[in-house]
Amino acid sequence: MNRILLVAALLLRLISVNGQSVERYSLIPRPAQLEPRAGDFIISRTTTIGVPFAQNGLKAIADTLASHINRSTGLALSVRNVTKMNQPDNLIEFAPSVDTTLGDEGYRIDATDRLITIEATNPKGFFYAVQTLYQLLPPTVLATSHAVPATNLTTLSVPACRIQDRPRYSYRGLHLDVSRHFFSVAFIKRYLDLMALHKFNNFHWHLTDDQGWRIEIKKYPKLTQIGSQRRQTIVDHYDEYDPQVFDGKPYGGFYTQDDVRGVIRYAASKHINVVPEIEMPGHAQAALAAYPELACAPGPYQVATKWGVFNDVFCPTEKTFSFLQDVLTEVMGLFPGKYIHIGGDECPKVAWRNSAFCQQLIKREKLKNENELQSYFITRIDKFVTSKGRRIIGWDEILEGGISPNATVMSWRGTKGGIQAAKQRHDVIMTPGQFCYLDHYQGNPAQEPTAFGDYLPLSTVYAYNPTPSTLTPAEATHILGAQGNLWTEYINNTDQLEYMIWPRAAALAEVVWTPLNVKNYDDFSRRLPVHFERLTTLNVNYARTFYDVSFAAKPTAGGQVEVSLSANTQVPTIRYTLDGSVPSGESPRYEKPIILAQSTTIRTAAFADRQPISQPAKVKNEYLVSKATGKPYTLLNAPTRGRPDKNYSLTDGTTGGMGGYEVAGVVSFANDINAVIDLGQSQSVRSVRVGFLKYTARNICLPRQVAIAVSEDGKTFQSVSMTKTNAAEGGKRGFVRLSFDFTATTARYVRIVAYNVGRVPAGLRNPGKAAQLAVDEIEVH
């Protein structure tokens, strides 16, 4: 089924707000003020776009608007000099304003059935007004080929309204890491197109890191000859396999300086500033592979083939500073914006502590420790960049050891660093991981592509307020805005990249543009389906986790499992299957909790008019029903505090899961597992099955042996099974459900003892470390 048709099916169900259907004004980000009006401005062959040609920059914006409309409709709208023509009956007019309340980026749109007037004081304002106009038009106007027949143009209309708008924040950013995985110039331009549609104005281009140096530096050709290439790349998630697995394939890529100039020109046409990032003093392994003399130890070094933080960093020698100044001189010659991002994050101090040179430098400069040495490093770079008329941005680690005087802080480790910097009167860009890291999961990890870890749903992004309430009004003026970050360790293609960005970046666009008192998630949710149609028209591979179905399960008093399903208010119908098959329009419609009398796999999908609107349902939620389901038990050895037992979770019928570095639904033990289950009455038992987590990269091993015993009174137990297991088993992490069968016997109590191996066995990643056991469910049959 065509995705446009799927979204269209949902649009038919849109409700009315304030007497106007939501689809008339489904604008993202929402304007500061919007006054709905009756009627529509119809675009036809008689429509003229009028612009005062004498105003610099306006004709190019109007030409682009005409081009979009003409390309998608087959019309031939003309752009004319408004000062040299009589006003026609069907006019879109660009009218420069002197109203300073609009600011450089603000605008007004006044649309009636005969005239659309766009007012702004600056080309930026006119540009953003046109982005709003695109969203007032049908989504098909964004198509790259004829989408609206030229003979049926009554559908190409702008709803009458009056809009007055300006952004809440001056810095509205999206970031892209091209060091871990490289993306073409053509894709970067597409990325900028989507940023512009959502009124973002800063593109943070992360160009260097341990896994690749991606920008040509003429004076140091080995940076791209050597530093842009790695010999192989780790497969899947960092902890997916133990030992880790690599693909054995060389990987590389870089941007020439002509490439960079082309991107900057293109971004400027979208009123987007490009902020380059050259990492220092850490995340330098690719540079050190090319020029090992810049390190504290001789090397050799290689471009990193896996992710993480590495101890090899730039050594603060004069040779290093000369190198970095040369690099930054070429970078500043390419990038005209005022900001140069110099990283400053995740710089281990091991190499500096072991370096006689660094220890002498600390004494010579009267520094207290290596943290102050990092401040010394950043301050020297800051003075150089400032001397060139630019300003540095650094991640919030640059606060450690004393902040460089002219630095702007990018606060990523929560909001604490941003608050600290703002109180010190430093400018701040907020980008805390819990709200702005778009490489985190946005839905059920079992349904999602591999992500870094953690959980950042659309609603959480939207809920973010970049200005902390603890700041005074004067301090709050230093919060320039916010930025969404996309790190690409686990993103190696453009489809997955767009999936991770959209629609969460649309939510962030509203966070940084729309006044706080106008933001409303329910209203955003009602506008989102139309916005999905725009993204579909643009062939964007956006995530549809917005329509995901949530599960809640609990055991019943009768030993069954009750499963409840739910979704947001924009989901008309939930359909499900109980046999593991993909739900269709003919599958049962969810109306009340599902009662499971046996182990069952449930698969769900959101539907509108029998058409699926959620992502293809690959998630199979498994629920286990046995004689132990809902039964109480006693743990003779206490679980760890990190993953405690909650509400008899080992017999609640639900299985565990994992995504990224996270594990859900397990109980962990630092010693043996010793559990006694009370079945409530004597009955025949013949098998026990235990779901153990094997996650040896995190020291969670299988047991070395499992003993099963039964009892009638809970005091005297009879052994029925003693089984050795392979505690040294590595490989792919996951849940291993081990069955322990024995001759059928009558019992009320069942005891399960799983013996911890004690230490992680040899051959695994962390041999000799204290081992743990982790369990998600115990079944008795």
Q: Is 616 exposed, middle or buried (0-12, 13-18, 19+ CB in 10 A)?
A: exposed
Q: Which of 346, 622, 672, 729 is catalytic?
A: 346
Q: Is 780 exposed, middle or buried (0-12, 13-18, 19+ CB in 10 A)?
A: buried
Residue 8 host element (H or E): helix 3-11
Q: How many residues does the chain have?
A: 781
Strands (E), 476-593: 479-484, 550-555, 561-566, 573-577
- Residue 666 CA to residue 737 CA, distance in Å, equals 13
Q: Which of 175, 206, 237, 283 is catalytic?
A: 283
| DSSP code, position 766 | S
Sign of CA dihedral 76, 82, 85, 87: positive
Sign of CA dihedral 283, 287, 292, 295: negative
Strands (E), 139-240: 157-165, 171-177, 202-206, 208-209, 212-213, 229-230
| DSSP code, position 736 | E
φ, ψ at 740 (rounded to 5°): -125, 105
Q: Which of 209, 210, 475, 548 is catalytic?
A: 209
Q: Is the peptide bond before 243 cis (omega within 30 degrees of 0)?
A: yes
Smallest Cα–Cα separation from 11: which of 19, 28, 23, 20? Answer: 23
Is 283 a known active-site residue?
yes
Is 397 a known active-site residue?
no
Is 209 a known active-site residue?
yes
Q: Is 80 exposed, middle or buried (0-12, 13-18, 19+ CB in 10 A)?
A: middle
Ramachandran bin of 567, using left for φ above 0, alpha for ψ from -120 to 50, beta for the remaining angles? beta
Q: Quick one: tokens of 737?
A: 């459900």
Residue 410 host element (H or E): strand 408-411
φ, ψ at 471 (rounded to 5°): -85, 145
Are 178 and 207 in contact by the 8 Å Cβ rule? The answer is yes
Q: Is 642 helix (H, G, I), strand (E, B) or coil?
A: coil
| DSSP code, position 582 | P
Residue whose pair of structure tokens reads 């506008």 in the numeric block: 527
Smallest Cα–Cα separation from 158: which of 117, 200, 102, 123? Answer: 117
* CA-angle at 434, arms to 429 and 438, nearest 5°: 80
Q: Is 83 exposed, middle or buried (0-12, 13-18, 19+ CB in 10 A)?
A: exposed
Strands 171-177 and 479-484 come out as parallel
Sign of CA dihedral 536, 185, 175, 443: positive
Question: Which residues participate in catalysis according to the annotation?
Answer: 209, 283, 346
